[in-house]
Structure 1
Amino acid sequence: MDPESPLQHEQFLTLFTSSEPAIRAYVRRLVPTRNDAADVMQGVSLVLWKKFHELDQPSDFRKWSFGVARYETLAWLRNKSRDRLVLAEDVLLTLAHESERGEERLTAQREALEDCLEKLPQPQRTAILAAYAPDAAMQDVAKQSGRTVAAFYQWLHRMRLQLLECTRRTLQSEGLT
């Protein structure tokens, strides 16, 4: 496929956009500051685009991008090796490995939680999502649900416990506990 084709560009953007927060979090766990992570992410983004044509299966994009991020972080580490705040390469590799394993678990947990949320009746799901929306005012969410603020907090606590149990059961049934 021509690396400049609109289809490849669209496919890359779709995969990168959906994976970018996880890649950024992965890089952030490996470098000292957010600014360092932003610097590394610039390099990661460029390498991912330049080498996208080498990716065999789009379903492997996230795993592949973590590998690229690991190498870009190691390159950053070599360039910054004079700085006392930079981790030794063996420590960084250990952190990278643990972060990759942790990301798989977090992804499974996120998917299980989404499945559990989908099982809730629409009014309950709407109230929960409204409570966790950015800039949500609990007084407004409680009022929309027809509860007092205190009653809404109690209800929300019970719902969180229910979702936690559902998520645990889902992960356990999939052998991911």
Structure 2
Amino acid sequence: MIDEGRFLSLFLKHERELASIARAFLPDWNAVDDVLQEASLVMWRKIHQLESDDEFLPWSKVILRFEILKARRLHARQKWVLNEELISKLMDESAEDDAEMRHAQQSAIQHCLQSFSEDHQKLLLAPHTSRGGVLALAETGSHSANSLYKRIGRLRVKLHDCVVQRLSSAELDLPI
């Protein structure tokens, strides 16, 4: 479960993205501010629903969508450019795009990880394991923890470059 401090950090990290989504559907920045404030209050009350950091952005977009629709109903007498059905459709497409991107990223990471030796894979994943991670590897091996962290840094750069290259080539293969 995510605590209040982590929630605040995640909200601040994604606030601009949420504001830009809201701005696409609202008439001005004042309306965006109002909707973001209401959405953040709802998120704060429902923080117990979150299990991990990865869930935050999709979860917050759902709450934001409902707050946008609520704001539109409250201001129904003003002229809005987009109707509720179109907003829902666009938000659904955005969620699908996010899911496709996450899937593509996960696929690229898996593919690139497989190009590393088993020892390098183990080393790359060591900081994320709950069994002592890098320190446990240092104790059982002939390298210090510091040298292992430096090696992990170099391996992460190679992994990053591989993932970026794979995602770039995947974009070129997509039908237009």
TM class by smaller structure: 0.5 to 0.7
Give unpaired runs (5+ residues) of structure 1.
Answer: 2-6, 109-166
Q: Report the TM-score, using the length of structure 1 for normalisation.
A: 0.54
Among candidates 50, 55, 60, match of residue 60 of structure 1 = 55
* Cα distance in structure 1, aligned partners of 2:35 and 2:52: 24
- Tell me the amino acid that sits aligned with residue 172 of structure 1: S
Correspondence for 2:44 = 49
Q: List per-residue Cα deviations over 1:63-101 (Å, max 9, x = no partner).
A: 000000001111111111121235321121122223445
2:77 pairs with 78, 82, 87, which one? 82
Q: Which string of whole-angstrom CA distances, capped at 9 and with x for unpartnered residues, describes residues 23-82 of structure 1? A: 111111111211111111111111111111122333110000000000111111111112
> What is residue 21 of structure 1 aligned with on the other side?
16
Deviating 4+ runs (over 3 angstroms): 98-108, 167-170, 173-177
Shift of 1:105: 7.9
User: Which deviations, in whole Å up to 9, do the C-alpha atoms of 1:128-159 show, x marking residues without a partner?
Assistant: xxxxxxxxxxxxxxxxxxxxxxxxxxxxxxxx
TM-score, normalization by structure 2: 0.54
Separation in structure 1 between the aligned mates of residue 51 and residue 101 of structure 2, nearest angstrom:
25
Change (3 A) 1:102 1:35: farther
Q: How far 1:173 moved relative to its partner? A: 4.6
**Structure 2: runs of 5 or more not aligned:** 104-163
Q: Which residue of 2 aligns with 1:171?
A: 168
**Letter aligned with residue 8 of structure 1:** D
